[in-house]
Amino acid sequence: MKKITKEEIIRVAELARIDMPETEAVATADEVSSILSFVDILQSVDTEGVKPTSQVTALSDVWREDLVVSCDVPQAELLANAPMLEAGYVKVKKVL
Amino acid sequence: MVSLEYLTIESAHELLSSKKVSCVELTSYYLTRIKNLDSKIGAVLTVLEESALHLAQEVDEKIASGQTIGMLEGIPYTAKDMFLTRGVRTTAASKILDNFIAPYSATAIEKLNKAGSILIAKVNQDEFAHGGSTENSAYQITKNPFNTEYVPGGSSGGSAAAVAADFGIFSLGTDTGGSIRQPAAYCGVTGLKPSYGLVSRYGVVSMASSFDCIGPITRTASDSTIVLEAIYGRDKMDSTTIDVELPPSDSVKLEGLNVGLASGFTDHPSITEAKEFLQKSKYTTVDIELPNSEMALAAYYVLVPSEISSNLERYDGVRYGMYSATAKDLKQSYTMTRSEFLGPEVKRRILTGTYALSAGYYDAYYKKAMQIRTLVSQQFDALFQTCDFILTPTTEQPAFKLGAKSDPVEMYKTDILTVSANLAGLPAISIPAGIDSQTGLPIGLQIIGRLGEDAKVLALAQDFQAQTDWHNKVKECLI
């Protein structure tokens, strides 16, 4: 069985920007471990030389004209969902 | 007074056109049912009473002035809360979108608006479509209208339950690994996952972009055809849409088509029923071996969490959605927002996906699963050399009891017969094909077809429903 350590789950949670208190880390690591054990069966298949599939439509490089198009939604409505605004801009907390 | 119970699109259209029922009466019938009965089912998140009645009145005025109306005009429907609807709250059943008012509508919703259909409610689902029972909604649990101790399935459980409970004539759902077909099977209704890329996903909350499909949940395959014909087609706003012209379903010739019956399910009631239908009809059958379902499911549960971890990065509390006000800086604001407002299954999938994509594990998980995806597609290609359709049960078992699958992996396993079609992008439909003798719950039959041959799949499903009565059992459900 694939076993993820407490340290690994804390590192992955940090990458995903999800808080992982020490008290929950072991239980969460166990849950993710059981999912990874469930998919471990994949390792038993020989895939040497098999091309990976990332999409199924066979479409590639779908181009469109680079045009300015009008938007029928007013700016105020588009920005209305942002929690913090200033002078028509989306505002964020300080970066550093 | 004409009975309005369990109308199909065609029968409702006939009632409206012949002025036997007004559109306001029809729309009010569903709004009243939702008001009186949804406390038992929990299917509905937002009711659009005012706009629905306003649109209904416009349809009535058009009919009164002697104009003819289109097939979908004045037809009340519901949509899973994954669909953006301009000016209306759209949550994906997540607390992180609790306050989100969509500034535009999904292409599918726009197309139905143009056809004159009337959106009456946004319905429940598993949060971000992560689940198979609609128990993972951050708002409420939806129950199966056949027996409220059981789940309706998921993730489009609100849609399937709403169609089964007669809260609207049809519903729009989304299907990443079975989320239209599995709840349709559990609720005794018809659910279509179209070919990947056939229906635009513009304005639909993303889950796993190389899998997500949107489609109708209806009472009949004939209604599914009507809805699909209205919503499919190339969309410049979704570059993954394919340029396919569907032939009219009545032009599809079914004589002599070969139906593949998956081995291992010969005793399943859905297959027994299908065999009886096939023997009486013009089809030939062949026994086939499905691509390894356990392998397909494992590949799915690597690829989908990986795509989820990437797609759900956007919920950071900056441009829209809930945010945590007390954070000191931007990084802490991301972390606090996501931790506070995303649900446990969503976090589990994000963590699993992040792990699978992280340095050192990419080849063992993500790349390996993409290679298995190739093998599954190749196996389907080979099978479709010998047959035109593949029949399987939609699910191994009928609906399970509320709370019965608290272990995530046990929940994942309910998708085992549906995910393969998503890995290969194939069209697949679930139609009612029996009632379980022990529980009295519906049983679904799945028909899978070749990529782009959605019309053929629908034609076979229509033929099955012309000769059987299982799709009408929903009229006897408890509610």
pLDDT tens by residue, B56-89: 999 999 999 999 999 999 999 999 999 999 999 9
Contact of B56 with B26, CB cutoff 8 Å: yes
Cis status of the peptide bond prior to B155, with omega within 30 of 0: yes
Task: Please compute the mean of the pLDDT values over residues B14-18 and round it to a whole number.
Answer: 97
Contact of B165 with B171, CB cutoff 8 Å: no
Residue B37, phi then psi, degrees to nearest 5: -115, -15
Q: What percent of chain B has pLDDT over 70?
A: 100
Of how many residues is chain A composed?
96
Nearest residue of chain B to residue A48 (CA atoms):
B371
Distance, CA of B341 to CA of B343 (rounded, Å): 7
For residue A62, is pLDDT > 90?
A: no
Given an 8 Å threshold on Cβ–Cβ distance, is B295 in contact with A52? no
pLDDT at B167: 98
* Residue numbers in A near B322 (CB within 8 A): 83
* Residue range B393-417, pLDDT digits in tens: 999 999 999 999 999 999 999 999 9
Q: CB of B373 within 8 Å of any CB in chain A?
A: yes
Number of cross-chain residue pairs from A and B with Cβ atoms under 8 Å apart: 164
pLDDT at A96: 81
For all residues of chain B together, what is the average pLDDT? 97
At which residue do the structure tokens 């599954």 appear? B376
Nearest to A53 among B295, B354, B370 (CB): B370
Antiparallel, parallel or unpaired: β B428-435 and B442-449 = antiparallel
pLDDT at B138: 98
Q: What is the 3-state secondary structure (H, E, C) of chain B?
A: CCCCCCCCHHHHHHHHHCCCCCHHHHHHHHHHHHHHHHHHHCCEEEECHHHHHHHHHHHHHHHHCCCCCCCCCCCEEEEECCECECCEECCCCCHHHCCCECCCCCHHHHHHHHHCCEEEEEECCCHHHCCCCCCCCCCCCCCECCECCECCCCCCHHHHHHHHCCCCCEEEEEECCCCCHHHHHHCCCEEEECCCCCECCCCECCCCCCCCEEEEEECCHHHHHHHHHHHECCECCECCCCCCCCCCHHHCCCCCCEEEEECCCCCCHHHHHHHHHHHHCCCEEEEECCCCHHHHHHHHHHHHHHHHHHHHHHCCCCCCCCCCCCCCCHHHHHHHHHHHHCCHHHHHHHHHHHHHHCCCCCHHHHHHHHHHHHHHHHHHHHHHHHCCEEEEECCCCCCCECCCCCCHHHHHHHHCCCHHHHHHCCCEEEEEEEECCCCCCEEEEEEEECCCCHHHHHHHHHHHHHHCCHHHHHHHCCC
Nearest to A81 among B100, B351, B377 (CB): B100
Task: Please compute the mean of the pLDDT values over residues B21-28 and round it to a whole number.
Answer: 98
Question: What is the band of A1 on the pLDDT scale with cuts at 50, 70, 90?
Answer: low
Contact of B449 with B286, CB cutoff 8 Å: no
Q: Which comes out higher in pLDDT, residue B199 or B244?
A: B199
Provide the annotated active-site residues of B: 80, 155, 179
pLDDT at B399: 98
Distances (CA, A) of B126 to B82, B86, B134: 10, 22, 4
* Residue range B117-170, pLDDT digits in tens: 999 999 999 999 999 999 999 999 999 999 999 999 999 999 999 999 999 999
* Residue range B332-360, pLDDT digits in tens: 999 999 999 999 999 999 999 999 999 88
Determine the distance in angstroms separating the CA of A48 from the nearest CA of chain B, rounded to an integer.
9
Distances (CA, A) of B439 to B34, B165, B214, B297, B436: 26, 18, 30, 27, 6
* Residue numbers in A near B377 (CB within 8 A): 53, 56
Question: What is the band of B381 on the pLDDT scale with cuts at 50, 70, 90?
Answer: very high
Question: What is the band of B202 on the pLDDT scale with cuts at 50, 70, 90?
Answer: very high
Nearest to A16 among B210, B309, B409 (CB): B309
Distance, CA of B221 to CA of B464 (rounded, Å): 9
At which residue do the structure tokens 């209704």 appear? B189
pLDDT at B1: 73
For residue B375, is pLDDT > 70?
A: yes
DSSP per position, chain A = -----HHHHHHHHHHTT----HHHHHHHHHHHHHHHHHGGGGGGS--TTPPP-S-SS--------------SS-HHHHHTT-S-EETTEE------
* Residue range B460-470, pLDDT digits in tens: 999 999 999 99
Contact of B192 with B216, CB cutoff 8 Å: yes
Distance, CA of B396 to CA of B416 (rounded, Å): 8
Nearest residue of chain A to residue B358 (CA atoms):
A12
Q: What is the pTM of this model?
A: 0.97
Task: Please compute the mean of the pLDDT values over residues A42-59 and round it to a whole number.
Answer: 93
CATH of B130-259+385-476 among 2.40.10.10, 3.90.1300.10, 3.40.50.2000, 2.30.30.790: 3.90.1300.10
Question: What is the band of A43 on the pLDDT scale with cuts at 50, 70, 90?
Answer: very high
Instruction: Say how many C-beta atoms besides its own lie within 10 A of residue B338's C-beta.
Output: 27
| Tokens at B324, concatenated | 């945590």
Distance, CA of B261 to CA of B264 (rounded, Å): 9
| Tokens at B184, concatenated | 């349709």
Contact of B81 with B45, CB cutoff 8 Å: yes
Distance, CA of B329 to CA of B105 (rounded, Å): 33
Long-range contacts of A58-63 (CB under 8 A, 24+ apart): A59/B197, A59/B239, A59/B240, A59/B242, A62/B239, A62/B240
pLDDT at B194: 98
Nearest residue of chain B to residue A10 (CA atoms):
B351
Given an 8 Å threshold on Cβ–Cβ distance, is A83 in contact with B323? yes
Residue partners of B415: CB distance under 8 A and separation at least 6: B132, B177, B178, B182, B297, B300
Question: What is the band of A72 on the pLDDT scale with cuts at 50, 70, 90?
Answer: confident
For residue A57, is pLDDT > 90?
A: no
Instruction: Say how many C-beta atoms besides its own lie within 10 A of residue A53's C-beta.
Output: 22
Closest CA to B415 of B125, B80, B133, B93: B133
Contact of B432 with B444, CB cutoff 8 Å: yes
